[in-house]
Structure 1
Amino acid sequence: MAREFTAERLAHWGLEKATDDAQLIVSELTTNAVRHGGDGPLTVCLSAHPLLPLLLLSVTDRGRAAGPLRALHPDDGAEAGRGLELVEALAALWSWTHTGRTTTVWAVLPLSPLPAL
């Protein structure tokens, strides 16, 4: 459902070129929320910046504070643990917030190549 929502919203905004990467990020964040976020509803939010070529993707759950989230960088033979590593590879920036009642993991996806610093 999260992947379909992402594709529909981006098509509505005319941002179809970002669909594959955005769907992958949203899928990974949603999977982590289902696995680790506790019981309750999830909220998927997409927001296109009005002036900058950036897309903000976030998933909020009724998460439990479990310490800082980080990409695991698993061994080649590992069957799991690559979700945040994929998010890290695709996003210009990602992080999380925990309010005590919810956890939101977000990522900023560039819609055009970012200039080198």
Structure 2
Amino acid sequence: MADKDKNGKSIMEGDRKALVTDAGRSIHSINPLGMRILVRIPKAENMTDGGLYLPEGAKDSLAESLLVDVIEVASALDHDTEEETNVSGIPLGSQVLIPKKAGVSIPWDSALRIVDTKDVLAIVDRVSLS
């Protein structure tokens, strides 16, 4: 059964490892080791709030940090109960703020990075005002 992030999107996983496709040819299973998390960088918008289109270089220079989705966390297996426990301290499915250059890119998917938990600047919660 797949977990859902805060936006209700399904987080693909199997045996607590994130499943990531490689251009439709194969599936990779990623389970971060140590105090690391796997994050997905959302695709940047091509238009500003005012309706202006931004070239690729302009989008890159706008921010010093990134708001990313956590799709897998470091976990430890309790051999007595066969349950896995999140040891990273970062909730699965949350959004976090990281420095722009933090982490290691995944070779087959440039939108994925493995990031040390010490590089996470903040956990971001969206609150709707009504």
- The verdict on a shared fold, with TM-score over 0.5 as the criterion, is no
Larger proportion of strand? 2
TM-score relative to the length of structure 1: 0.29
Q: Which has the larger radius of gyration?
A: 2
